[in-house]
Amino acid sequence: MIVRRERPADAAAVRALHRLAFARDPATGVQRDPDDVVEARLVDQLREDAGFLPHLALVAVADDVVVGHVIATRGWVEPVGAPALGLGPLGVLPDVQRSGVGTVLVHALLAVAEAAGESLVALLGDPAYYRGFGFRAATELGISAPDPAWGTHFQARWLTEVRTGGTFRYAAPFDRL
């Protein structure tokens, strides 16, 4: 398996991957219509947004098949408008889930983000999974979620010593979910 930047030619494979990876609603477990998978539409919209950062859209490829994808886009911390990253979605083909593909993608994304001088990464996800990458409940770091109901599922990780508190805001496509 190799991890590399997503290329324009990967868009259809990435869309199909997210449709399969999120075929069941993560919150309810209910089967979704493939055309109704929010995560697949979100990735397409993020690519078109001003917050898109091509170096932070990564794919995992095995035997010439895109088996995993992760993206981070420009977010910010208000009220100061400090730049930050919103991680997600992270998707892996169902037949290779729990084999380490997602872990490799998240580690790669965090390494690229840190090398690029980013200071904060925030996400909405399973605390048990993301704890292994150094994420903590965002409130512990002085960062408030866009929606307080997210509780400990909204997490963050500092990448630098420069730290500022406030409310996290995702790239605009997240507001349209």
Q: For the chain, which domains are there?
A: 2-175 (3.40.630.30)
From 74, 40, 41, select the one nearest 55 (Cα to Cα). Answer: 74
Q: What is the pLDDT of residue 36?
A: 87
Confirm if 156 and 171 have CB atoms less than 8 A apart. no
Give the separation between CA 99 and CA 155, rounded to whole angstroms: 23
Long-range contacts of 144-147 (CB under 8 A, 24+ apart): 144/168, 146/170, 146/174
Q: pLDDT tens, position by position, for the chain (177 residues)?
A: 999 999 999 999 999 999 999 998 877 888 998 888 999 999 999 999 999 999 999 999 999 999 999 999 999 999 888 999 999 999 999 999 999 999 999 999 999 999 999 999 999 999 999 999 999 999 999 999 999 999 999 999 999 987 889 999 999 999 988
Distance set, CA 130 to CA 41, 133, 138 (Å): 23, 5, 12
Amino acid 61: pLDDT: 98
pTM higher than the cut 0.85: yes
Give the whole-angstrom CA distance, residue 51 versus residue 162: 21
CB 21 within 8 A of CB 91: yes
